[in-house]
């Protein structure tokens, strides 16, 4: 195990700002793929199937093997899904979450973890529910 700190990232969602770290130890290939996409600017949508979570469609063309994949992420644990059952996406849970699509349960690779107050994350969920899609920017910290 290395003593080197994981690279840091910043997320901006509307007027909210969060610091976090790439999970290079848990999902090295997935974290490297996310890092290669930075800076990433896309609309952030409320999840339809996964409960208290937001998601960012990434489109087709990403291919990854499972790396410590989970269907039950914790609030602030960002997952990258690039499998075959659904389109590639980032999932950002803000509360209770069971990652899924209309094709069924999905498991995503944990690519980043936010250092965020759970109450502030819940505010993101309220914003998305009541005001719709919000601008998201992820860049290096």
Q: Residues 6 or more apart from 29 whose CB is under 8 A from it?
A: 64, 65, 67
Question: What is the structure's pLDDT at 2?
Answer: 44
Q: What residue ranges define each of the domains in the chain, with the CATH number in brackets?
A: 24-130 (2.40.100.20)
Question: What is the structure's pLDDT at 127?
Answer: 98
Q: Tell whether pTM > 0.85.
A: yes
pLDDT tens for the chain, 141 residues long, are: 444 568 999 999 999 999 999 999 999 999 999 999 999 999 999 999 999 999 999 988 788 999 999 999 999 999 999 988 889 999 999 999 999 999 999 999 999 999 999 999 999 999 999 999 999 999 998
Q: Residue 95 in contact with residue 124, Cβ under 8 Å?
A: no
Question: What is the structure's pLDDT at 97?
Answer: 98
Cα separation, 96 vs 131, whole angstroms: 20
pLDDT in tens, 76-116: 999 999 988 889 999 999 999 999 999 999 999 999 999 99
Cα separation, 97 vs 9, whole angstroms: 22
């Amino acid at each position: 195990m290395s003593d080197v700190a994981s690279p840091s990232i910043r997320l901006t969602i509307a007027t909210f700002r969060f610091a976090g770290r790439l999970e290079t130890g848990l999902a090295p290939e997935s974290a490297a793929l996310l890092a290669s996409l930075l800076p990433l600017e896309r609309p952030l949508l409320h999840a339809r199937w996964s409960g208290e979570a937001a998601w960012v469609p990434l489109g087709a063309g990403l291919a990854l093997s499972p790396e410590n994949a989970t269907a039950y992420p914790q609030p602030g644990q960002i997952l990258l899904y690039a499998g075959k059952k659904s389109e590639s996406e980032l999932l950002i849970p803000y509360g209770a979450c069971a990652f899924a699509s209309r094709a069924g349960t999905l498991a995503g690779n944990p690519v980043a973890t936010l250092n965020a107050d759970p109450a502030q994350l819940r505010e993101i969920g309220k914003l998305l529910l009541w005001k719709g899609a919000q601008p998201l920017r992820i860049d290096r910290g």
